[in-house]
Structure 1
Amino acid sequence: MAAGVSEQEAQAHVYGVCFKTGPPARTGVELEWLAHDAADPRREVAPRRIDRALDPWTAPGALPARGRLTREPGGQVELSTPPAATLAACAAGARNDAEAIRGAFAAEGLVLADSALEPFLDPPRVLDHPRYRAMEAYLDHGGPWGRLMMRSTAAVQVNLDAGDDSDGPRGYRFRWELAHRLGPVLVAAFANSPLWHGKPTGWRSSRRAVWQRMDPSRTRPPAYHGDPRASWARYALDAPLLCLRRDPPEDWDAPYGLTFRDWTRGVPGLRPPTTADLDYHLTTLFPPVRPRGWLELRMIDAQRGDGWTVPLVLAATLLDDPAAAYAAWDATEPLCPNGSVLPPEPVWWRAARLGPADPALGKAVRACFSAALGALADSAVEAELREGVAEFALSYAERGRCPADDLLEGISR
């Protein structure tokens, strides 16, 4: 049996694996979709139909750009791209793989849904892995939000290098802070989940509202005191265990409220935790920015069609182009009152409820699009991607709108 990991060893391990520093160079994206029946989006989709559609693409390397295809607990489809050396290569690869999935769905009479929250149905949990049974049991302590998240939400996740050890815009500290400052901007600009059970919820991003209500210890940003590594290690060790892996046929339920830090200090009747347990625990933390050796930006709603290219290009440009990064920093300054470095929690709530119709957030959204478009004008990014960002800015950002407004208008007709 592997030796237990101490509290100090656990902290050092988190430092090492979650912030692998180096010059920002790679870009990745993860795309989630809800599945709808093409003829009637209110008709429940049997899991076997999704299985049949995806069967040709589930083997490793089967998709055209070698993306990885997985399923979420409610049957959602997730495409994860390999890290690409350029933004354009990342977008092209993801687009090719997404088109293959879209074609496979069409052949089975299915479509990839336009919303980031299931607007009509209450999908069952279709995955019976012990992780998901334990997750559901744990999250049920906090109300219905966990089940809703697991079964009914979909996102765009942008993956970017953490950064190097410098003090400027390429440094991991600056990039960590800027990613959090941009978080509410990205929530607001791309909010796309205003409906549930066929009716408006009062939120532009109901998906984000679900995540924020679910479990603060693992879904909200870490408290920050100037050191990303220390802040994240404290957050990770103080988060309760969501599940505890055991050999079959035992379940994975963890003692409720037991944190990983508590576990390292010894729990009667429970084996000591290992480094592998810690690595797995880190995969059960879901804040809007999650460090995994790179930065996962997890706050963006799933978009209609290939609309995911716009948040991908916007986020990558604002974080990777130094001039755009400084401009985005200035644009988000009003969202950080009283000299704070990061936006307080109420700003995230306003972003989810109002989107860019909120005056301060709308102004920041417009300024961030302007900064990105200025950087893209002098970049090697292909014209189609630049034009997509420009068209979104004109149709949505400049008008104080987001994709959720289209869905609300559609339901009112």
Structure 2
Amino acid sequence: MSDSVSGCTEPRSAVTDAEVEALVRGICFKTGPPRSLGVEVEWLVHELRRPWLPVSPERLRAAYAALRSLPLSSALTVEPGGQLELSSAPAASLMECIGAVSADLEAVRALLCEADIGLSGYGQDLWNPPRRFLREPRYDAMERYLDRTGPEGRFMMCSSASVQVCLDAGYEEPGPLGHGRRWWLAHQLGAVLVAAFAHSPLSRGRPTGWRSTRQFVWAAMEPGRSSAAPLGGDPRVAWARHVMDAPVMCVRAETGPWRVPDGMSFRDWTRSADPPGRGDLDYHLTTLFPPIRPRGHLEFRMIDAQPGDDGWIVPLAVTTALFDDPQAAETAYRTVKPLAERAGSLPAPCNPLWVAAARDGLSDPELHEAAVACFAAAAEALPRLGATARVRRLVAEFTDRYVARGRCPADDLLLQFHGKDTRSGGEDTRFHGKDIRT
């Protein structure tokens, strides 16, 4: 969501179907030894002492102007609803990444605290309807486009927050760290991560029936934009076709509002009388929101924002361990392989496995069993990745509190709301009249 292109200022040199597919294959999967990683941490912004109240646009603008004067190592961006995002620079190790982002967050929180502004890690705003803070052509066009299919797009834009883990695509060759296996593993293990870190069971103060309402919203807003490419073949070929067949959200303009086409795929555009250029392709890639997005590296976009100042460290550490440590990667692969049959032929996040993860969290027995094995493998791998005792303790505490007990952070919020344990479910599983199970 933090990708931004302010306008169309580069000269347009039309690209053909074949050129687009070749470019996508070349830029989206860059293989080699997994050597770097990163994280993008989003936060909901609110009144410090009354977290159910949003901050006025005037105070937000002043606070963000002050934040931009801080000497941060991470990129600081603002989401359409005013959510704050810190995107780390590529780091050479897990601890380098954690150290840099932790220092930046400490500085950001201190400055915001002086302005009586707080940050919270929920996957979706618990109390307030979507409210757009940024007024830019990109987001005007995005809102017009997504409104065609329902209100989910506005919730995605303005009310959601996540922990996005970024890892190298992996080796060209087969094996536990090969790019083909990592791509497949990401789409099966992704459901386990959704379930374990689900933290958005409420909307406007009421239960939605989903442990991760954020994941439901992303799945429901427009399948052609938020679904994964088909698995089973060459990831580069599948992703290139997916990009070509995906709908075009908008056509950028140097001045005035951006045009919002109706039902035009990128393939259609390349065959039109006014075909796109390379810059249009680059922008189109930023408007696709699958749960795992290849951008030279792999973006894991399915994890809800987490509770507590340091909650984001746990999904970063666990995901990194399960993909970058060969032993843990092999364990994860063997653990989630039986789940692939349950996922079926539908792409994530609308297949039965991902729906169960978002709806039930770790109260689902199969997802619970897989999470226990994967978190144990991650815990064993963390010392090999140089994780400090503090990071290992954070992961162990999360495992004891949630994973071992078949719970996720969403269950804490439901317990507060109902005054009792609600892991058995029972709420309506529709949200704004939609049910992605159908």
Normalised by the size of structure 1, how large is the TM-score?
0.95
The secondary structure found in structure 2 opposite 1:337 is helix
C-alpha distance after superposition, 1:161-187 (max 9, x if no partner):
111211012221111111111110110
Q: CA deviation at 1:14?
A: 0.2
CA pair 166-246 structure 1, distance change in 2 beyond 3 A: same
The secondary structure found in structure 2 opposite 1:231 is helix
Q: Distance in 2 between matches of 1:378 and 1:230?
A: 34
The secondary structure found in structure 1 opposite 2:187 is helix
Q: Distance in 1 between matches of 2:315 and 2:410?
A: 15
Show the counterpart of 1:95. Answer: 102
Which of the residues 56, 80, 91 maps onto 1:46?
A: 56
Q: Distance in 1 between matches of 2:343 and 2:245?
A: 27
Which of the residues 8, 12, 17 maps onto 1:7?
A: 17
Q: Distance in 1 between matches of 2:122 and 2:12?
A: 45
1:98-177 to structure 2, matched below 5 A, reads 98-177=105-184
Q: Distance in 1 between matches of 2:407 and 2:120?
A: 20
Q: CA deviation at 1:122?
A: 1.4
Q: CA deviation at 1:338?
A: 7.4
1:264-413 to structure 2, matched below 5 A, reads 264-267=270-273, 271-304=274-307, 305-337=309-341, 345-413=351-419
Which of the residues 43, 58, 73 maps onto 2:68?
A: 58
C-alpha distance after superposition, 1:363-386 (max 9, x if no partner):
111110011111124442111111
The secondary structure found in structure 2 opposite 1:34 is strand
Superposition CA RMSD, Å:
1.6
Q: Distance in 2 between matches of 1:97 and 1:156?
A: 15
Give the letter aligned to residue 151 of structure 2.
P
Give the letter aligned to residue 29 of structure 2.
F
The secondary structure found in structure 1 opposite 2:239 is helix
Give the letter aligned to residue 238 of structure 1.
D
Q: CA deviation at 1:224?
A: 1.9
1:185-200 to structure 2, matched below 5 A, reads 185-200=192-207
Deviates more, 1:403-412 or 1:389-398: 403-412
CA pair 38-263 structure 1, distance change in 2 beyond 3 A: same
Give the letter aligned to residue 315 of structure 1.
T
CA pair 140-27 structure 1, distance change in 2 beyond 3 A: same
Which of the residues 74, 86, 92 maps onto 2:93?
A: 86
Q: Distance in 2 between matches of 1:121 and 1:18?
A: 36
CA pair 55-2 structure 1, distance change in 2 beyond 3 A: closer
The runs of at least 4 aligned residues of structure 1 exceeding 3 Å deviation read 338-344
Q: Distance in 2 between matches of 1:362 and 1:9?
A: 44
Q: Unpaired segments of 5 or more residues in structure 2?
A: 1-10, 420-438
C-alpha distance after superposition, 1:298-322 (max 9, x if no partner):
0000011210100000000000001
Which of the residues 236, 239, 244 maps onto 1:237?
A: 244
8 Å CA contact 1:217–1:240 kept in 2: the answer is: yes
Q: CA deviation at 1:359?
A: 0.5
Q: CA deviation at 1:3?
A: 2.2
Give the letter aligned to residue 291 of structure 2.
P
CA pair 55-339 structure 1, distance change in 2 beyond 3 A: closer
Q: Unpaired segments of 5 or more residues in structure 1?
A: none
Q: CA deviation at 1:339?
A: 10
8 Å CA contact 1:334–1:360 kept in 2: the answer is: no
CA pair 278-177 structure 1, distance change in 2 beyond 3 A: same
8 Å CA contact 1:54–1:101 kept in 2: the answer is: no
Show the counterpart of 1:25. Answer: 35
8 Å CA contact 1:5–1:273 kept in 2: the answer is: yes
Q: Distance in 2 between matches of 1:50 and 1:103?
A: 15
Normalised by the size of structure 2, how large is the TM-score?
0.90
The secondary structure found in structure 1 opposite 2:216 is helix
Q: Distance in 1 between matches of 2:130 and 2:13?
A: 41
Aligned residues: 406
Q: Distance in 1 between matches of 2:304 and 2:181?
A: 24
Q: Distance in 2 between matches of 1:347 and 1:72?
A: 29
C-alpha distance after superposition, 1:144-175 (max 9, x if no partner):
10011111000100000111211012221111
Q: Distance in 2 between matches of 1:25 and 1:256?
A: 42
